[in-house]
Structure 1
Amino acid sequence: MQAVGVMDKSYINGVWVTGESERSYNVLNPYDRSTLATVRLATKEQLEQAFVVAEEAQKLWAKSSVDERRNVLEKAIEYFKDNKDEIVQTLVRDTGGSVLKCNVEHHLALEFLEESIKYADEVHKVREVTNSGDKLNHIYRLPLGVISSISPFNFPLNLSMRTIAPAIALGNSVVHKPDIQVALAGGSIIAKAFEYAGLPAGVLNVILTDIEEIGDEMLRNPIPKLISFTGSSAVGRHIGGIAGQNLKRVALELGGNSPFVVLSDADVDRAVNAAIFGKFIHQGQICMIINRIIVHQDKYDQFVKKFVERAKAIPYGDPKDPTNIIGPLINERQLEKAFSYVEEAKRDGATIALEGKRVGNIMTPYVFTNVDNASKLAQTELFAPIAPIIKAATDEEAIALASDTEYGLSSAIFTNDLQKGEELALHIDAGMTHINDQTVNDAPHIPFGGNKASGLGRFGNPWVVEEFTVTKWVSIQTKERQYPF
């Protein structure tokens, strides 16, 4: 990959630059807290510079040919394929994710790049709308401009790429700030890939910094036309408020409290298999992870017994060992928060079906039963390997409980009646519902996004094309028009 020497630097206007702050940040391996890189943070002034160069670069990039844009994307794909093993290992060290999770993340990032090639020709297309014989109406789709991109710590590579790849394919430029905790996986690798691909200087700028340095400059700077953010609903509300004041577009993929519903006619073994994966992949640190398991009373005891047996057996430890599934939570604060949820659930009267423990920086699985859907445990986005299981008296109650949350990202229903399952899916207030599967699903050709407090806008082809472009009407009067005065 040949990027070791630049992994601690920001990438502005095609140049790897050292941050000008007096402060540095140690990027740590979440498993053993060893230092992966020491990053001198970029300043607000450097961020402002990045927006200026992005604006200038975008004017030329907007005029690039379809072939130019496709060639850049194809070369970036080549980089990711040729350097797969090193990228996956960087993801393991940077995010604390298992080898399985990091291979999935690498694959998803590639899929977003490959899908973006398909719609690189969507900009500058002309569609003619008929009106009267003496007027032509041409509808153009044009690049939006500069996009401000902010990505999270959990899946930093593909959640960055799902904004960056479409933006570049559609003739936009990007100023991107990854979560500094995963600066390598969420920023440096991506910048290196597009540098290798020959992307013109300034079209992609990657800023390694934190909020203490830049404040709300990613949001308030007048240059970007859209703010793309993946993260918590609280921050999303803050972004939405600022964007509204400044009439900026937003693409917000926010928090989740995804229900996994097991109906009275479900196959319990299949449901348990899906729930184990959908609850515990990446230690539960995924926005669309299963957060609540809602089981019909007829299947409840059987499900709980089998789920606990499986959860107890999940291997944990150093994520570099490919046999381990559960690794560390991202930092000490997240660990402390997760254990505080456990203690509060105990005080609230939930029953512990499986008692986890702390092993180094790892939390092993916890399973709670007799959980009230209105409890803090059930209503909180846990981001940890904690599984609350809720009993429903009827299938109808199970579906009602599924929607009884402020969030509405992903959801799942297990049933042997597929027609019934699809009908009930429409009654769950969420952007996505999966029948006989778990809640963690993503693809570059579906409308990915949530309802309610889980976000605004949709990623995926063709929906992201609408988000990242502007529509322009050009009318051509072919004959002299007679006006009434």
Structure 2
Amino acid sequence: MSNLLEQAPWKGKLYNGQWQTASQVRDVIEPATLEPITQTGIASADDVLTACHQAQQAQKEWAAVPPREKSTLFLKAADYLDQNFDELSMIIARETGGIVPKGQHEVREVATILRLAAGLAMQPTGYTLATDINKQSYAQRIPLGVIGVISPFNFPFILSTRSVAPALALGNAVVSKPDPQTPMTGGYLLALALEYAGFPKGIYQVVPGDADAGAALCEAPEVAMVAFTGSTAAGRKVGETCGRNLKKVALELGGKSSLIILEDADLELAASNVAWGTYMHQGQICMASGRVLVHESIADQLIAKMAEKASHLPVGNPATEQVALGPLINERQLQRVHSIVEDAVKAGAKLEAGGSYEKLFYKPTVLSGVKPGMRAFDEEIFGPVATIVTFKTDEEAIALATQTEYGLAGAVISPDVARAKKIGSQLHVGLLHINDQTVNDECNNPFGGCGASGNGQGVCGPNDLDTYTHWQWVTEKSAPPKYPF
């Protein structure tokens, strides 16, 4: 067992720059074994409000820290991740149910995000504006104050840090509420890195909790903005509360992303892309390839290749076995996935592979003959299910891909890049990939969707300066002017 899990500085604790004893505790269950892996504090609504007040007090001094000093702290935090790479990767794999390479990916990406934040802290934040010769006029970006971050269970390290790091770099304090199923990956591992680096007490608070804790974060008067990643249903509630309280909000929500495969596509490459886009992390990814739209002339061949891949992909405990897929996050999610598969078969779809499970391990599944009106076509599954839909023309493919309230990702595969781009340009999505599948993110790109996938605010890359600051216009004169009255 790892030293960190043995030491468990978070056991029964919340974090405000120090480990504070919580009034409520909860076991963290390892999905692969269904056994407790550790125990952490659980925040009540009052705990969240206290954290927001403490963050507001700490933010004023943090905003005044020179940029070069901020930058150095982020670089040191990234070094901590490098130094503890293997241990942190295994903790993430065990807590989230992902394979070890998925845990390694999260650690690498978060280290990159921290180094990007180090650079962001040094960037110019304003413009000198044209004005009268005897006056200086400029616009500058200044911190919002306290940012609330609510992150999900699937890629918690990345999906929390991608907001926490730039928000801190730009002079804000952050109160982070990770999913209570993954509090280590969603908050406490970053706390260890920031603590090691020497970040001031109070500017980063970790308060894992349930819906009441999230509601308190959205209601807290100290919080100027909430960055939320999660389901569309929960995102609507967050958006409603933030709107009522006149708070800025960034919503990164669910998706039903289409991967379109044209008849001239290389079948081996296409099948590889489908498998990755649908089975990566058991399909528990917002930008998963939720609809595989295949030209009818190659559908049978692709289905056969997908069924073969699905039948040979090993499923098991990622911490102890060489597997491609681990467990789903909990029993409720597993039963939802299975009910969608069963409903599709009853409605006329054909089960080509999978469709069964043991404990939380759901076998990679292939459904062919999926049509609009089936839950497998309409709903975000969040499980390892490839839903194959056929089309005859480019226009039909576009119509099928856009027959959804979501607008997160889309992809088109064809050696005819011009044709693929023409199709892609008609998909109403925030993330578009030509000759790739839909699961892509590089940390320095704007990430977000439209429609039921988000409010188009976006996070990461060129979005960060706008997202976590607000404009302030400043004018300066050597003496006040004399006005007519």
TM-score range normalised by the length of the shorter chain: over 0.9
Aligned to 1:172: 172
| Structure 1 contact 443–460 (Cα < 8 Å) conserved | no
| Structure 1 contact 98–327 (Cα < 8 Å) conserved | yes
Q: Structure 1: how far apart are the matches of 2:182 and 2:101?
A: 18
Q: Structure 2: how far apart are the matches of 1:128 and 1:40?
A: 48
Compared with structure 1, are the counterparts of its residues 395 and 318 closer, same or farther at alpha carbon in structure 2 (3 Å cutoff)?
same
Query: Does 1:427 find its partner at 2:430?
Result: no
| Structure 1 contact 14–202 (Cα < 8 Å) conserved | yes
Q: Structure 2: how far apart are the matches of 1:41 and 1:205?
A: 13
Aligned to 1:241: 240
Aligned to 1:39: 40
- Segments ≥4 residues shifted beyond 6 Å: none
| Structure 1 contact 295–392 (Cα < 8 Å) conserved | yes
Report the Cα offset of residue 126 of structure 1. 4.1
| Structure 2 contact 343–374 (Cα < 8 Å) conserved | no
Report the Cα offset of residue 56 of structure 1. 0.8
Q: Structure 2: how far apart are the matches of 1:333 and 1:68?
A: 46
Aligned to 1:345: 344
Aligned to 1:157: 157
Aligned to 2:317: 318
Report the Cα offset of residue 397 of structure 1. 1.0
Aligned to 1:374: 373
Q: Structure 2: how far apart are the matches of 1:147 and 1:439?
A: 29
TM-score by length of 2: 0.96
Aligned to 1:18: 21
TM-score by length of 1: 0.96
Deviations 1:289-330 (A, max 9, x none): 111100111221111111111121111111114620111000
Aligned to 1:454: 453
Report the Cα offset of residue 232 of structure 1. 0.3
Report the Cα offset of residue 481 of structure 1. 4.4
Q: Structure 2: how far apart are the matches of 1:41 and 1:455?
A: 28
Report the Cα offset of residue 9 of structure 1. 4.0
Structure 1: which 5+ runs fail to align? none
Deviations 1:269-306 (A, max 9, x none): 21111111111011000011111100111221111111
Paired positions, count = 481
Deviations 1:337-369 (A, max 9, x none): 111111111221111111332123200012111
Letter of the 1:43 counterpart: S
Match runs of 1:137-216 below 5 Å: 137-212=137-212, 214=213, 216=215
Letter of the 2:141 counterpart: R
Percentage identity across paired residues of the two chains: 38
SS at match of 2:182: helix
SS at match of 2:171: coil
Compared with structure 1, are the counterparts of its residues 267 and 206 closer, same or farther at alpha carbon in structure 2 (3 Å cutoff)?
same
Q: Structure 2: how far apart are the matches of 1:479 and 1:191?
A: 48
| Structure 1 contact 99–321 (Cα < 8 Å) conserved | no
Deviations 1:351-407 (A, max 9, x none): 111133212320001211111133221111100111110001112211221111110
Q: Structure 2: how far apart are the matches of 1:309 and 1:280?
A: 14
Structure 2: which 5+ runs fail to align? none
Tell me whether 354-363 or 226-235 shows the greater mean CA deviation.
354-363
SS at match of 1:216: helix
Letter of the 2:93 counterpart: V
Q: Structure 2: how far apart are the matches of 1:470 and 1:362?
A: 46
Q: Structure 2: how far apart are the matches of 1:101 and 1:368?
A: 26
Letter of the 1:6 counterpart: P
Q: Structure 2: how far apart are the matches of 1:116 and 1:169?
A: 6
Match runs of 1:231-270 below 5 Å: 231-270=230-269
CA RMSD, Structure 1 to Structure 2 (Å): 1.6
Q: Structure 2: how far apart are the matches of 1:223 and 1:392?
A: 52
Compared with structure 1, are the counterparts of its residues 411 and 76 closer, same or farther at alpha carbon in structure 2 (3 Å cutoff)?
same
Query: Does 1:72 find its partner at 2:73?
Result: yes
Aligned to 2:134: 134
Compared with structure 1, are the counterparts of its residues 394 and 126 closer, same or farther at alpha carbon in structure 2 (3 Å cutoff)?
closer
SS at match of 2:370: coil
Deviations 1:142-185 (A, max 9, x none): 11110001100000111111011111111111000110001111
